[in-house]
Amino acid sequence: MGTRKKVHAFVRVKPTDDFAHEMIKYGDDNKSIDIHIKKDLQKGFVNNKQTDWSFKLDGVLHNASQDLVYETVAKDVVAQALDGYNGTIMCYGQTGAGKTYTMTGTTENYKHRGILPRALQQGETNRIIASHTMNKNSSRSHCIFTIYVEAHSRTLSDEKYITSKINLVDLAGSERLKKSGSEGRVLKEATYINKSLSFLEQAIIALGDQKRDHIPFRQCKLTHALKDSLGGNCNMVLLTNIYGEASQLEETLSSLRFASRMKLVTTEPAINEKYDAERMVKNLEKELALLKQELAIHDSLANRTLVNYDPMDEIQIAEINSQVRRYLEGTLDEIDIINLRQIQEVFNQFRVVLSQQEQEVELTLRRKYTLIDKNDFAAISAVQKAGLMDVDGHLVGEPDGQGFGLGVTPFSAKPGKKAKSKKMFKEQLSTSARKEGASSPVGGKDLDFSTSKTQLTPSSKEGDVKDMLMRDRETSSTEPLPLDSPKEELRPPRPSTPPPKPVAFEDFKNERGSEINRIFKENKSILNERRKRASETTQRINAIKREMDMTKEALNFQKSLREKQGEYENKGLMIIDEEEFLLILKLKDLKKQYRTEYQDLRDLKAEIQYCQHLVDQCRHRLLMEFDIWYNESFFIPEDIQVSLKPGSSIRPGMVPISRIVSLHNYLKTMMGFQQAHRK
């Protein structure tokens, strides 16, 4: 097993009184044939340049008895078949060269019986087929005898058995057409036979080529029938029958060439082992009963009360569930171990309780908070409208821009699930809007708050500057400032205690931070607009997808209708009715639309990602500037402050306004670039 084996190629020469001694010579080891053509005879041969050929084979049988032929060619193959290896023996050669004689032999004389009856005898099954095998075999057809072998072990308990096949193939004559002088139907047959022989050769050569993965078995009936017997896991023998007469030399040469090509082919014989499922179950049942008895003995020896090892019923499982709950609550100190099955059930119930608790926690959270699927664009934009989320797409209180999953959800994402979460959200939105009011300030915790898949909108809480920045909206500039914020020049003497940062931040935005703040807001509004477009595109894509599904369904229905009514075919073209045709066109159109929208969405997402990056950068700068400004204004001694005033050269940490990227300008150039690119 696992080792590759060559096809064995033998030659059997038909005995004749007119043997061409001068042309055909056997090697001393009986494994080669040399052919020599005399110059004067050479004319008219296939290859008129060459006069000498030498063929190396696995054995040359001349004047060999049927007995010797069987011993040499078939005995091992049959023996191996009884051990589970498939085997194939083929006779090849021109008509009259002795293929049938070799394969089946003659019925008159027992000594002259061929490979087939001997193989049956070797397999001790000769009773059945003896008469059948002697059927007439036309030289113009291929004849395949298959012996199926199934071997069970004599001991009953063995559930393993082997199956194998022996194919004995008496091929049709390989002679060339011009010589046989066939006409009409016979010519047609001969052409077909010749073709199938060359298909056979192609298939065998393909099998021998380890680089080839396609074997052309379907080319003709012959190769199809031999599909699992050629090459592959088979022991294969080719016996080439030739005439030893000068007049047949051309066919002899052709047959020998075929033999030497086949000799190069390799196969990988393997045992065909099978399992008898019924026997296996019986054996396992027996063993199970035995082991149960064994267990019972062990229990009684260990003085254990009778333990039941059968599968648990509902009541027992419920009891374990209750034990696990009490254990988790702390009212049960330990769970007694009884047997393996019970231990497994305890773990199982741990899992059950855990997942129930997870659900309970989520339910509690849902009662208290609004949960939104981060990939639900529609819901997010609804929240934005309702004022629960800032333009960055964060729910208020969410600190950082990872909430908007770009390229995360495939568009085929289960629509059912999505629809459900959307509905749930809407219900909750109405209640939370009523409770908190759309404009009520809601703050979050701090910047290091890590985001999870679902976002929470916590109830209002006092926030600092960073929170204020998060809920910074277009409308915020029109809101009255919480404190009077005098311009820097008019600022009254520094208060003894610095103002709270949120208050100071409003001041900052109106004076030194105004330009950065303006760019920040502008960038955010562009980002928001792109998000809205992405959300709309997603909705369109979903609508197209739904329409595509419906069209496909309708098409399938039309198709099944057509199949039920019987198909019409005209010159190989399928006839379909108008309705089906229109559906096909529609589907094509929808697919086109889908692709376009999909591409748009991809572009939008790339844009959004970039915008998000710039917005984050702006926010970061704004905060940094504010900190500097705050320290300058309230903690640095006044005399130093003078030198820091606008106009003087020292501005610690200040980033020049010109270096803050405006998204607006950036996108203008980008869009121009993209359009130029698409053309």
Instruction: Give 26-29 contacts, CB < 8 A, sequence gap 24+.
Output: 26/60, 26/62, 27/60
Question: Count of H helices and E strands in the chain?
Answer: 21, 16
Check the CA dihedral 485-488-489-493 and report its sign.
positive
Q: Give the one entry of Mg ion, ligand ADP, none that residue 621 binds, where binding means its C-beta sits below a cut-off of 5 to 8 angstroms depending on kind.
A: none
Instruction: Show the CA angle centred on residue 249, arms to residues 31 and 98, nearest 5°.
Output: 70
> What SS3 class is residue 586?
helix
CA distance 265 to 252: 21
- Candidate ranges 92-100, 281-289, 307-315, 533-541; the one touching Mg ion (CB under 5 A): 92-100
132/678 with CB nearer ligand ADP: 132
Give per-residue burial for 625-647: e unless 16+ CB within 10 Å, then b. Answer: bbebbbebbeeeeeeeeeebeee
174/535 with CB nearer ligand ADP: 174
Give me the least distance between CB of 98 and ligand ADP, in Å please: 3
Please tell me whether residue 100 binds Mg ion under the rule CB under 5 A.
yes
CA distance 593 to 373: 27
Q: Are 251 and 175 in contact (CB under 8 A)?
A: yes
Structure-token pair, residue 147: 């012996």
Residue showing the smallest CB distance to ligand ADP in the complex: 98
Give me the least distance between CB of 567 and ligand ADP, in Å please: 45
Residue 537 marked ligand-binding:
no
Residue 99 marked ligand-binding:
yes
Q: Are 230 and 223 in contact (CB under 8 A)?
A: yes
Please tell me whether residue 104 binds Mg ion under the rule CB under 5 A.
no
Q: Give the one entry of Mg ion, ligand ADP, none that residue 105 binds, where binding means its C-beta sits below a cut-off of 5 to 8 angstroms depending on kind.
A: none
Strand 160-170 relative to strand 143-152, pairing: antiparallel
Residue showing the smallest CB distance to Mg ion in the complex: 100
Judged by the rule CB under 6 A, the positions of this chain that interact with ligand ADP are 14-15, 93, 95-101, 106, 139, 173, 241
- Candidate ranges 98-106, 300-308, 380-388, 596-604; the one touching Mg ion (CB under 5 A): 98-106
Q: Give the one entry of ligand ADP, Mg ion, none that residue 98 binds, where binding means its C-beta sits below a cut-off of 5 to 8 angstroms depending on kind.
A: ligand ADP
139/321 with CB nearer Mg ion: 139
Give me the least distance between CB of 55 and ligand ADP, in Å please: 19
The one-letter amino acid code at 207 reads: L
> What SS3 class is residue 485?
coil
Give me the least distance between CB of 225 and ligand ADP, in Å please: 19
The one-letter amino acid code at 178 reads: K
Give me the least distance between CB of 99 and ligand ADP, in Å please: 3
Residue 463 marked ligand-binding:
no
DSSP-derived secondary structure letter, 414? -
50/65 with CB nearer ligand ADP: 65
> What SS3 class is residue 524?
helix
- The distance from CA 196 to its chain's CA centroid, rounded to whole angstroms, is 37
Q: How many residues bind Mg ion (CB under 5 A)?
A: 3
- Candidate ranges 47-55, 95-103, 199-207, 431-439; the one touching Mg ion (CB under 5 A): 95-103
186/288 with CB nearer ligand ADP: 186
Please tell me whether residue 542 binds Mg ion under the rule CB under 5 A.
no
Q: Give the one entry of ligand ADP, Mg ion, none that residue 241 binds, where binding means its C-beta sits below a cut-off of 5 to 8 angstroms depending on kind.
A: ligand ADP
Instruction: Show the CA angle centred on residue 313, arms to residues 309 and 317, nearest 5°.
Output: 95
98/463 with CB nearer ligand ADP: 98
Residue 402 marked ligand-binding:
no
Q: Give the one entry of ligand ADP, Mg ion, none that residue 662 binds, where binding means its C-beta sits below a cut-off of 5 to 8 angstroms depending on kind.
A: none
Single residue of 88, 139, 323, 528 touching Mg ion by CB under 5 A:
139
201/464 with CB nearer ligand ADP: 201
Q: Give the one entry of Mg ion, ligand ADP, none that residue 106 binds, where binding means its C-beta sits below a cut-off of 5 to 8 angstroms depending on kind.
A: ligand ADP
Q: Give the one entry of Mg ion, ligand ADP, none that residue 394 binds, where binding means its C-beta sits below a cut-off of 5 to 8 angstroms depending on kind.
A: none
Q: Give the one entry of Mg ion, ligand ADP, none that residue 14 binds, where binding means its C-beta sits below a cut-off of 5 to 8 angstroms depending on kind.
A: ligand ADP
Residue 173 marked ligand-binding:
no
Which residues 6+ apart lie within 8 Å of 524 measured at CB? Answer: 390, 391, 392, 472, 615
CA distance 529 to 525: 6
81/143 with CB nearer ligand ADP: 143
Q: Give the one entry of Mg ion, ligand ADP, none that residue 141 binds, where binding means its C-beta sits below a cut-off of 5 to 8 angstroms depending on kind.
A: none
- Candidate ranges 41-49, 135-143, 314-322, 489-497; the one touching Mg ion (CB under 5 A): 135-143
Residue 93 marked ligand-binding:
yes
Instruction: Show the CA angle centred on residue 67, arms to residues 62 and 72, nearest 5°.
Output: 65
Which candidate, 185, 65, 168, 76, places its Cα nearest to that of 122?
76
Residue 156 to residues 82, 172, 272, 322, Cα–Cα distance (Å): 19, 45, 20, 48
Give me the least distance between CB of 224 and Mg ion, in Å please: 22
Strands (E), 305-384: 372-373
Q: Give the one entry of Mg ion, ligand ADP, none that residue 349 binds, where binding means its C-beta sits below a cut-off of 5 to 8 angstroms depending on kind.
A: none
Give me the least distance between CB of 73 and ligand ADP, in Å please: 13
Q: Are 617 and 663 in contact (CB under 8 A)?
A: no
The DSSP result for 491-503, as a single string, is PPSPPSSPPPHHH
251/436 with CB nearer ligand ADP: 251
Structure-token pair, residue 496: 């003894």
Helix axes 514-565, 501-510, angle to 10 degrees: 90
Give me the least distance between CB of 144 and ligand ADP, in Å please: 14
- Region of residue 2 (left: phi > 0; alpha: psi -120 to 50; beta: else): left
Give me the least distance between CB of 278 and ligand ADP, in Å please: 45
What is the rounded end-to-end Cα distance, in angstroms, of the chain? 62
91/324 with CB nearer ligand ADP: 91
CA distance 108 to 234: 33
Give me the least distance between CB of 100 and ligand ADP, in Å please: 3
Give me the least distance between CB of 237 and ligand ADP, in Å please: 17
Give me the least distance between CB of 108 and ligand ADP, in Å please: 10
State the binding site. 93-100
State the binding site for ATP. 93-100
Judged by the rule CB under 5 A, the positions of this chain that interact with Mg ion are: 99-100, 139
